[in-house]
Amino acid sequence: MENVRVVKNPRKRVKRSTPTNEVCVLRAKAKIVSLNGGIVLAIVMLLTAITIGSVLTSSFVASQTILFIILTVASWAYLLDSTSERMELKGNQIVRSSLFGRKVTVSLDEIESLVLRHEGLNQNVGLESLTLIYQDEREEQVALGPCWRRRDLEAFLSSVEQQMGYEEVVEMQP
């Protein structure tokens, strides 16, 4: 089951007639305290325990121990990178950055719509993906790690809508 949230950039701007009292979220950050973050942490801890066991006991061949060490270091780096992801609204730009990943800056003037898609079997377990649809109908997928909470991303997209000054731009699609 797929849950989609769309933020559109209509060509004709509609300004809000009344000021809102909503809190504007200018920065969203991935957190290890999320369902998928906990799953990744459990896998990393299991790999770490196996690696420590392979180093302390002589029941593994040296090549197996080296393989476990490489996998453990890579999994800790992945967890660290995915928990350091953040998206910020800076002026008229969305900036996505992480510890090891490259910084991605997108101007809202070029964007037709933002699509937040929940890809998973149910509403609780799954990954989130953000698709940028440009005005020339070109699409770009922004990779989001496993440690994002959907409500944080929805609050951030609502702030993008609020910053752009549009009414009812964010839509939920089944």
31-66 residue pLDDT tens: 988 888 889 999 999 999 999 999 998 888 999 999
Q: Are residues 151 and 129 in the same domain?
A: yes
124-135 residue pLDDT tens: 556 788 888 888
Q: Work out the pLDDT band at 7, boundaries 50, 70, 90.
A: low
Structure tokens at 149: 């909470």
Cα separation, 164 vs 109, whole angstroms: 10
Q: Are residues 78 and 146 in the same domain?
A: no
Q: Are residues 150 and 67 in the same domain?
A: no
β-strand partners of 35: none
pLDDT surpasses 50 at 173: no
pLDDT surpasses 70 at 102: yes
Domain that holds residue 128: 2-30+85-173
92: CATH: 2.30.29
Contacts by 123-128 with C-beta closer than 8 Å and gap 24+?
A: 123/1, 123/3, 124/35, 125/35, 125/36, 126/36, 127/36, 128/153
Phi, psi of 140 (to 5 degrees): -135, 130
pTM of the model: 0.75
In the sheet where 127-134 sits, what is the strand order? Answer: 139-142, 127-134, 111-119, 2-8, 170-173
β-strand partners of 7: 114, 170
Q: Are residues 19 and 72 in the same domain?
A: no
Total domains present in the chain: 2
Could you tell me if 97 and 103 are in contact, meaning their C-beta atoms sit under 8 angstroms apart?
A: yes
Please, which residues have CB within 8 angstroms of residue 132's CB and are 6 or more apart in sequence? 106, 111, 114, 139, 140, 141, 142
Q: Are residues 106 and 159 in the same domain?
A: yes
